[in-house]
Chain A
């Protein structure tokens, strides 16, 4: 299968441990958000996946092989690690043409990826004159050259304007929809909320969470509804029967997920249950993420 397997990955720079015994899997057909505060080790992990840095311990395989053993690498993995990683005096077209040639890909792929990333009109322009957004697109075009099933993007929306951000989000979704495995890093939870199906959260190089987006939201109270009523035990059974997930909240309240507030209200009215509170929870993903990575942030604050 087209997937990335990270197993027991450790990377030390002198006495500093940038990545600490990290294991996770990136599955096909979904966007895996790789989340962590700045300095958490995301870029280092991605460089190791790409064979650009060597791990101190552990290994990474892509569809069961080490990156350097992929016979035609660009047809397996496409990556955008650093949008600035182009020679500014080369045209977008020449940059892509050289990459295509290096993997024996037909030159017409260049036109195809330029078109898919909306760069056709600037193909003959020097990359040095490109805006950050255009460079990101050029990097994505390079990643798509070999039509790979595994895609890796390091902070692709950093520094982009809202329109660029929306374009990239939609793009990630469509790549995953085509069945590809997509790994996208970010240090902002809000960026992931609308893009990722799965979350891998790291802090100080260590794995903090490896969970589906839905589970993460539920576990952190996003999309839940707080219900207070006269007979919580009875109403909880009614809610469960209606397909909701119910757990006990503070002061004999109920925390309900998988059922909208309006539906809960209707159910209560139908069964003549008196509600004293019915409030959709506002806890944001950002708060949940902050809570999760608090320890690693405190550590960073203390040392820098």
Chain B
């Protein structure tokens, strides 16, 4: 195997947050990651999916697409994941990515979601269009 790919689509409901991170954990098993690396990946995926549920669709449901790739390199695997919603989008991505920035008032949000994604993964890119949706891409190296 040089490259392993998978694509799943699921409803944007809070029940599926656990499903998504467990699916990611199962997908990277092949790379035999350390427990801590596994936890980092699960947390990052959970953040992105939770954001789609709460912010993208305002807790009223929708569609989330998650694509994962595992690529073998010489001394490591590269895990990449794309999590996409087709909801309301983000007006100012730079601001949204700041630590402790949250636009959500009715729930208790700490505004740490993007910060955790950034810290726990090697790379994070966010593409968003108002009224169209948001696409979060993350990569992480898993050492052999």
Partners in one complex: no
Q: Which residues of chain A have a CB within 8 Å of any CB of chain B?
A: none
